[in-house]
Structure 1
C-alpha cells in the first residue's frame, strides 16, 4: 500500500460538508466520503466531541487521520468521529463551553473562527486494493474503539441488501429497536449503532453461527432489500409476545431466535399455563436463575434454572454421617471422589436441605443422572 503524509486545513475539510444519512456524508469539496461501508455510525458522546473542538481551538495536536484514494476522490478510513465533530461544529450543529458560556461556531470572534479553520490536520493518503485497505483498517483500529464483528461484515458485504437492512436495524430508534427492545440486548458492543441489532437478527435467521451469518450476507448482498430478514425478526418477536405476553426484564437478551426455531410450531404452549408456571418458579427458593425459566419451560432442561446446590459444610456433615460409604455401591470413598445428590429430586418436590442430601461416588451419581 502506498502512503503519503499531507496537511489539510479544517477549512478545506469542511468545505461542501453534507450529511444525508443513508445517502452519505461528504466533505472536502464533496471529494471525501466520510462514511464508507467499513465505517461505523457516529458514536462520539458530547464530551468526546467537544474535546475535539477544544483541542483544535487551543492548537494542540490531533491524532493523525487516514484517507484512502478512491477513484477521483477519497474515503475516510480512520478519523470519522473527529472529522464529523469538526464539520458539525463549523456547521453550527452544537455548542461548546468557553469561559462558562455556550458558543456555537457562529458566536466565535472572527479571530477564533480563523484559528479553527486554519488548523492543519495530519492526513495519511493511502492507496491500495480493497483487501489492503480493509486489512489496514483493522490494524489502525486496534488502539482505538475496535470494530465489532458485524461492522467488519458490513464492510465486506456492502450493497443494496445491506443499505436496506440498515434502515430496519441500524439506526437509533429504528423499527427493529422499537419492536424488540424488551427482548434484545442492545448494550455495549451489542448497541444498535454498533450493528448489534442487525447481528442478532442475522443470527436468528441463520442459526447463530458466524460462518452462516457471513454466508447469508454474501448470498443476499445484491438483493433489492432486506425484507426477508425484517419479516423473520418480526415473526420471532410476535411469537414471543404470544407465548410469553407478560414482559419481564429477564427476557432481555435470551436467544429467542433459537427458541422460535426449535419451538415456534408447537401447539401445546398455552400462555396462561406458562405464566402460572413462571410465577411458581420465581417464588421457588430453589430456582436461582429467573432468566433460565423460559428455556426450562420450553426444553425441560433443569440446568438452566441454576438450582440451589448443597454447600460444603452440608456435604461434609452428610459424608461423615455415611462414614464415607456410597449408598449405591456400598464402597468407601474420599469426599473428593463423591458428589452431593438430592434424595428426592427437585422436580418431585425435593429441597436442598440436610435431610434430602446423600453423598454418592462419582460413577454411581453420574450413572444415575446420565451426566
Structure 2
C-alpha cells in the first residue's frame, strides 16, 4: 500500500459538505466519501465533539486522518469520521461551543477567527492499495481508541447494496428495528451495529459471516427486515403483556432463537399469562428472567430453582444416619445429593421436610440425568 502525507485545509474539507443520512455523507468538493459502508455512525458525545473544535480553534495539532484514494480521483475516509463530521457540522452552524463563557457557533465568530479555522491544516495520510490492503490497514489503525465491534469489522468486509439497506433499518439512531416497543426487548446500540448483529445472529443461526457473504450483493435487506418483524409479531401474540415491569424480564432474551424453534407451536396467550403470574409469585423460582424460556421449552434449569443449603443437607443427613433411602447403603455426605421428595413441578417446596439425600447414582437415575 502506498501512503503519502498531505495537508488539507478545513476550507477544502468542508467544501460541498452534505449529510444525507442513509444516502451518505460527503465533503471535499463531493470527492470525499466521509461515511463509507464500513464506517461507524456518528458516535461522539457533545464533550468530544466540542474538544475537536477547541483543538482547531486554538491551532493545536489534531490526530492524523486517513483517506483511501480511489481510481476516479475521489476518496473514502478510512479513519477520522468523528473529527471530520464535528468540524463540518460546526462550520455549518449546526451547534455552538462555549467560548469565554458565551455559546458561539461558527457564524458568531469574528471574521478573522472564522478564517483561522478555515485555514487550519489537517494532516491526512492518503493511501492507495488493494481492497484487502485497505481493510487490513483499517483494522490496524482502529486498534487504538474505541475498538471496533465484531459487527463493525464484518461490515468492513461485506460492503455493498445489501449492507447499505440493512443499516437503514438496523443501524441508525432511533432505527425502525428498535421502534414500536422493540427497544424494550432488545439489548445493544444500533449505531454500534449491535442490533444488526443480533438480527443476523438469529436469522443465520449464529453463522453471521456465511449469511452476509451470501447476501452481500443483494439489492436490499428486505428478507432480514421482514424476519425481524415476524419475530416480534410472534412475541407479541404469544406474550402480549409487555409493560415496563415485564420488559425487565423480557429484555435481552434470544427471541429470534425462540421464534426459529417454536413459531409453529400452539400456545395459548391467556394460559401462558396465568402461568407467568404464578411463576413470578413462586419463591422457588430464583431466575424470573428464565420464565419465558421455561414456558416455551419446559426446561426447569432456566428457572434456577432454589436448592437445599448446606445446613439443611447436614440436618437431613443426620436424620437419615448417612443412609440412602433407595439403596439403603451408607455414604459420606459429599457422596450424596439433595433431592425434593415431592418435585417442584408437583408443588414441592425447598424445605427440610421435603428433602432427602440420595447417593449420586440413585439421584441421577431417579431424575433421568
* Cross-structure match for 1:353: 351
Aligned residue in 2 for 1:305: 303
Partner of 1:128: 129
How much has 1:227 moved relative to structure 2?
A: 1.6
> Is the 8 Å Cα contact of residues 327 and 362 (structure 2) preserved in structure 1?
yes
Q: Which residue of 2 aligns with 1:48?
A: 48
Shift of 1:245: 0.5
- For residues 302-350 of structure 1, give each alpha carbon's deviation from its aligned partner in whole angstroms, at most 9, with x where no partner exists: 0111111122222233233333333333333333333222222111111
SS of 1:124's partner is strand
In 2, Cα distance between equivalents of 1:169 and 1:285: 39
Return closer, same or farther for 1:4/1:285 CA change in 2, 3 Å cut-off.
same
Contact kept, 8 Å, 2:158 with 2:216, in 1: the verdict is yes
**What is the match of residue 18 of structure 1?**
18
Residue matched to 1:67: 67
Cα offset, 1:182, TM superposition: 4.5
The change in CA–CA distance for 1:315 and 1:111 in structure 2 (over 3 A counts) is: farther
Say if 1:313 and 1:59 are closer, same or farther in 2 by CA, change over 3 A. Answer: farther
Change (3 A) 1:180 1:213: farther
Residue 3 of structure 1: SS of its match in structure 2?
strand
| Whole-Å separation in 1 of the counterparts to 2:329 and 2:141 | 63
How many residues in Structure 1 have an aligned counterpart in Structure 2? 364
Output the CA distance in 2 between the equivalents of 1:125 and 1:333.
75
State the partner residue of 1:83.
84
State yes or no: 1:234 paired with 2:229.
yes
Distance 2:229 2:324 in 1: 53
Counterpart of 1:199 (choices 179, 197, 200) is 197
TM norm structure 1: 0.92
C-alpha RMSD over aligned residues = 1.8
Q: 1:95 to 1:326 in 2, by over 3 A?
A: same
1:288 aligns to what SS in structure 2?
coil
Secondary structure of 1:254's aligned partner = coil
Name 1:108's counterpart in structure 2. Answer: 109
Unaligned 5+ segments in structure 1 are: none
- Ranges in structure 2 where 5+ consecutive residues have no aligned partner: none
Counterpart in the other structure of 2:250: 251
Are the aligned partners of 1:182 and 1:251 in contact in 2 as well (CA < 8 Å)? Answer: no
Structure 1 pair 115–361 and aligned structure 2 pair: CA distance change class (3 A): farther
Relative to structure 1, the CA distance from residue 192 to residue 322 in structure 2 (aligned partners, 3 Å threshold; closer, same or farther) is same
Q: 1:183 to 1:370 in 2, by over 3 A?
A: farther
Q: Residues 44 and 82 of structure 2 are in contact (CA less than 8 Å); yes or no, is this contact kept in structure 1? A: yes
How far did 1:183 drift?
5.1
Q: Distance in 1 between the 2:286 and 2:189 partners? A: 28
Question: How has the CA–CA distance of structure 1 residues 330 and 120 changed in structure 2, closer, same or farther, with 3 Å as cutoff?
Answer: farther
SS, match of residue 349 in structure 2 = coil
Q: Residue 290 of structure 1 aligns with which residue?
A: 288
- 2:261 match: 262
2:13 counterpart of 1:28: no
CA shift for structure 1 position 180: 5.1
Indicate whether 1:330 and 2:328 are aligned: yes
TM superposition score normalised by structure 2 = 0.93
User: Which of 361, 364, 368 does residue 363 from structure 1 map onto?
Assistant: 361
